[in-house]
Amino acid sequence: MPFKCLSLYFPIIALLFSSASFSEELVDIMLINGHVLTMDAKLTQYPQGFIAIKGNKIVAVGPQTQAKQFSAVETLDLDGDLVLPGFINTHTHVSMSLFRSLGDDVSDRLHGYIFPLEKEFVSREMVYLGAELGNLEMLKGGVTTYADMYYFEDEVAKAVDKIGLRAVLGQTVIKYPQADAKTPKEAIAYAEKFIKKYKSHARITPAFAPHGPYTNSTEDLQKIAELSLLYDVPVLTHLAESQKEQTTIAERSDGLSPIAYLESIGALNKNLVGAHVILANDNDITLLKKNRVGVAHNISANIKSAKGVAPVLDMLKQGVDVGLGTDGPMSGNTISLIDEFSQVAKIHKLWNKDRSVMPAVDIIKMATMGGAKVLNLEDKVGSLEIGKLADIIVFDTKSANMTPMYNPYSVLVYSAYATDVKHSIVDGKLLMKNREVLTANEQNVIKRAHEFSNKVKELLISQGKSIL
């Protein structure tokens, strides 16, 4: 009889002890059976690893054997695919995607194509559509965070908000009249309003974007530097990019380089992100390090414009934070960042006549933690670590070009295509799954972009300009 009574409890006892879910932590998304490149300070890898995401943060990362401690609302079995932090594009002009492939081989591209086209077509509608198109390209190419400089930057913010990427968005200030501001004073006021609106946004960091030292007055550059410290926001600018800039600044400042000039007027500080930085000597690099200035290295745009090769190896040796950028779609043409990898590695090897410099792992470091440091986001993104925001990408390793994979860094730098990016997660949300964008109608955006391009073609033909 006692045995019979005890037997009544056996099913309950068995349920309690056999239910794995009783002790498991429930998370929102779990990536399992992946080859995880954490990109942390030790470059920790988990050839058979997992990541658990709860809310917008990473709550666990480690060997696959630890995954049994968790259960998830959605689990992605990666079957050996590469997992790493989302790439960070530290410099672009995303809305210029609508002008891509125009004037590529024309010597006076800036004045012959870009400025006239912008005067005719830049509007709120154009900026938003171009941002949608560019955001889609970056999302599908593994970029999860990007830094942008353009006009009507609040329209870019709307596209970022809709599609779900993370971005540092700089409202342009330039001495010439533009569609969104007729004077630099108006542009600064526009930027301040934009900054106040988006300062607390979870994924958008608003910023000032003076076009460059030579296209802004000393007074305006000083004002922007002062306001950036007041609001604690970035300043995005083109810096030490061209001989014209160098000559103009030397005349203005009694022979100083653009970098030395910015320091002399109090505009060189931790909030500044300098794009290109091609014409930088040893003293300039010392000033960049001293003032904690971040550098966006845009190899494709630099070599396509025949402006030179930035001394990135010297910058890295001196401890300057360097990230990778694509520049705008009229300069580097693609904005997925992956296309930069191989060129950065090969051009620096050629430039320095040394095959061993700029190894593949350093390229991926610049594309992840390097970019995060440049944008002062290293405490949030750039590596896969517990407590950091869940900005994660997955590469399909089953394609012919990704096979075999002895060294994952080398495969990413020298073999990968943007089309190998399989899944993208930003802020804990799955934005792309199996190459399908989940937050936007990709075909509708492409259709509207084609319609816009027809208007551009009509104008150029009427002006007798070639589009070939």
Q: pLDDT averaged over consecutive 10-residue blocks of the chain (468 residues)?
A: 48 44 84 98 98 98 97 98 98 95 77 80 96 98 98 98 98 96 98 98 98 97 98 98 96 97 97 98 98 97 90 98 93 90 97 97 98 98 98 97 97 98 98 98 97 90 76
In a domain, 424, yes or no: no
| Domain end call among 329, 350, 379 | 379
Question: 174 and 250 share a domain?
Answer: yes
Q: Distances in Å between the alpha carbon of 101 and those of 109, 354, 371, 466?
A: 11, 33, 27, 12
Residue 1: predicted pLDDT: 45
| Sign of the torsion formed by the C-alpha atoms of 156, 157, 158 and 164 | positive
In a domain, 400, yes or no: no
> What percentage of the chain's residues is helix, strand, coil (to nearest 5)?
45, 25, 35
Residue 119: predicted pLDDT: 87
Question: 206 and 277 share a domain?
Answer: yes
CA–CA distance, 147 with 170 (Å, rounded to integer): 7
In a domain, 415, yes or no: no
CA–CA distance, 195 with 305 (Å, rounded to integer): 32
The pairing of beta strand 57-63 with beta strand 87-92 = unpaired
Domain that holds residue 257: 86-379
Tokens of 292: 């904690």
Question: 262 and 135 share a domain?
Answer: yes
Question: 210 and 349 share a domain?
Answer: yes
Question: 56 and 121 share a domain?
Answer: no
Q: What is the CA radius of gyration of the chain?
A: 24
The DSSP code for 377 is: -
| Sign of the torsion formed by the C-alpha atoms of 365, 367, 372 and 375 | positive
In a domain, 337, yes or no: yes
In a domain, 420, yes or no: no
| Sign of the torsion formed by the C-alpha atoms of 409, 413, 417 and 419 | positive
CA–CA distance, 167 with 109 (Å, rounded to integer): 28
Q: Which residue has the tokens 């992100």?
A: 273
Cis peptide before 2 (omega within 30 of 0): no
CA–CA distance, 14 with 66 (Å, rounded to integer): 24
CA–CA distance, 456 with 245 (Å, rounded to integer): 30
Tokens of 288: 């960049």
CB atoms within 10 A of CB 208: 29
CB atoms within 10 A of CB 105: 7
Residue 206's H or E segment, with its range, is strand 204-210
Burial 229-245 (b: 16+ CB within 10 A, else e): eebebbbbbbbbbbeeb
Residue 15's H or E segment, with its range, is helix 10-18
In a domain, 421, yes or no: no
- Exposure of 468 by Cβ count < 10 A (0-12 exposed, 13-18 middle, 19+ buried)? exposed
Question: 43 and 127 share a domain?
Answer: no
CB atoms within 10 A of CB 371: 34
Question: 137 and 34 share a domain?
Answer: no
The DSSP secondary structure of 311-322, one letter per residue, reads -HHHHHHTT--E
| Domain end call among 379, 396, 419 | 379
Tokens of 187: 């542009």
Question: 236 and 331 share a domain?
Answer: yes
In a domain, 438, yes or no: no
In a domain, 57, yes or no: yes
The CATH number assigned to the domain holding 303 equals 3.20.20.140
Question: 28 and 114 share a domain?
Answer: no
Residue 15: predicted pLDDT: 43
Report the Cα 445 to chain-centroid distance in Å. Answer: 21
CB atoms within 10 A of CB 41: 9
Q: Distances in Å between the alpha carbon of 457 and those of 268, 440, 445?
A: 42, 27, 19
Residue 3: predicted pLDDT: 44
The number of distinct structural domains making up the chain is 2
Residue type, 142: G
CA–CA distance, 312 with 122 (Å, rounded to integer): 34
| Domain end call among 361, 379, 397 | 379
Tokens of 219: 């007074």
Question: 337 and 199 share a domain?
Answer: yes
Question: 32 and 100 share a domain?
Answer: no
The CATH number assigned to the domain holding 51 equals 2.30.40.10
Residue 18: predicted pLDDT: 42
Question: 264 and 372 share a domain?
Answer: yes
Long-range contacts of 104-110 (CB under 8 A, 24+ apart): 104/304, 104/333, 109/330
